[in-house]
Structure 1
């Protein structure tokens, strides 16, 4: 999806461009009126985010028949603490407006998915996730949902994870996605995931509650209620104890819970909470976790 960004303030323009790019939207920044007129006349741009109160600009963009989002009351990034909240609302509107009208090749490969695992992480989780994903190779027919605490201003690039294992298909959750083998779906912080029939994952309009975004406990609870094969949870490096209570529920349901070895974690609070409450059946380094996952996948749980 390509977003046209027309904002006069350079700081706001650059910050919003970074947020959109971080959440897998292609983004083009335009300023000259002749260029705006040219782009508005073609079908390349899927939506426009533009300065509110600029009547002439609105008249030009309205001719494009594309989704228009006036950037009214945009907080100043780095100064106004409400910038992240404003961006969350923008992303919810874009996700809702631009989601694909039909399911992606419904039923094409879902039947081949052998398991769906939740990968939870926070501070220090990025390197651990990359090492784990690099270590699992392909051929396991699993799909993964990543819940990693992040803020909208953070740079969480898909390429970091995709480059770790080119056999995987890494993407942000948007609209409706049907899981396939080797899919890695990243939960954005601004909206909850809903799990439907035949491996369909939908980005809802509901925000997470509590102090974590995304909230790993809430993700696990919804995932536990879904009809999905071969479930499992792995908790990597992170602060506090998000995910610990969800792991207890998972363990009570007979679902395997793995945790990163605290000594190998940049921040050991999250994996330690899972180990301390007794829900973890395996503890190891990210490479150990990859090996144990493959052992379980190869023997079909």
Structure 2
């Protein structure tokens, strides 16, 4: 394969620094860049004239450009490249490696060796699991049930569901959420492991941790702070054990539990999504995350389910 035959990429990225970094990195890999523009300066009619083997988007989700490409593009559309660490940061090379792996999986290897030094990836453990936190408070059960009903239970993901609720309702949540879907929704059992297809209800009165192999560990002490269960330490715990294969969705609720932990998750390059204000019974909690700048996607429960299914398919293709 010659350079002229190299796979082509079209870039549509908000933010000048990120767009320059992506353009330089993609060309350093040996791919050809055939379109590179700021979304706010692009008309929809321009997209129809672009001929590329892949679109790479990193921009606000509520955009006519994104909608058109997802619905009409004849070539793969890769959503997001992850948060880009500064070039002097040791994580920058890891980010480059992850991006190259995704691109080469979708497009094939570039015609020349990448123009960067990439460390050899470590083998993934056989027990690797993708685990996302579902955080909610007032109005949460209805929103989370709608989300689970719309997402196939065969999806390669497990959830930990942190719902601010009276302790008397904890044991009822699996029955409430499990009607009309095939997810394994269960309360915590000491020593059991979290597997894909599980929705684990975080306990109200006891803090939850995970062992090195993902086994459930119920603590003798209660959750710290005012919230039961507390999203903040639980999200930090998931990141400690399951990163980088984890993320968070913050649904309807009051308060600001988890905002700081969402920021820490984003700084590690992981996804944080929020329920849209218009679809939430109480938008205070998801809006606090969005206002802090930590939400990378927002939508209704149905829209978030569809987006997660697509995200999981892309991640699975990148890891194949």
The answer to whether 1:160 aligns with 2:176 is: yes
Gaps of 5+ in 1: 1-109
1:142 aligned onto 2:157: yes
Q: Is the 8 A contact 2:244 2:270 kept in 1?
A: no
Structure 1 residues 55-204: aligned runs within 5 Å: 111=126, 114-154=129-169, 156-166=172-182, 168-204=183-219
Distance 2:292 2:155 in 1: 29
Which digits, 9 at most, give the CA deviation of each residue in 1:158-188, with x for residues without a partner? Answer: 111111412x111111211211110110001
2:206 is paired with a residue of what secondary structure?
Answer: coil
In structure 2, the CA distance between the partners of 1:136 and 1:112, relative to structure 1 (3 Å rule), is farther
3-state SS of the aligned residue for 1:119? strand
2:270 to 251, 255, 265: 255
Per-residue displacement from partner, 1:231-258 (whole Å, max 9, x unpaired)?
A: 1100000001111111111111111000
Cα-to-partner distance string for 1:89-124 (whole Å, 9 max, x where unaligned) = xxxxxxxxxxxxxxxxxxxxx946641000000000
Cα offsets for 1:208-267 (capped at 9, x unmatched): 121110010111112221145521100000001111111111111111000000111000
TM-score, normalisation: structure 2: 0.57
TM-aligned CA distance change 1:113 to 1:139, over 3 Å = farther
| Structure 2, unpaired ranges of 5+ | 1-124
Q: Secondary structure at the match of 2:168?
A: coil
> Residues 265-287 of structure 1, C-alpha deviation per residue, up to 9 Å, x if partnerless?
00000000010011110000000
What residue number does 1:36 align with? none
The count of corresponding residues between Structure 1 and Structure 2 is: 191
- Tell me if the contact between 2:131 and 2:238 (Cα under 8 Å) persists in the aligned partners: no
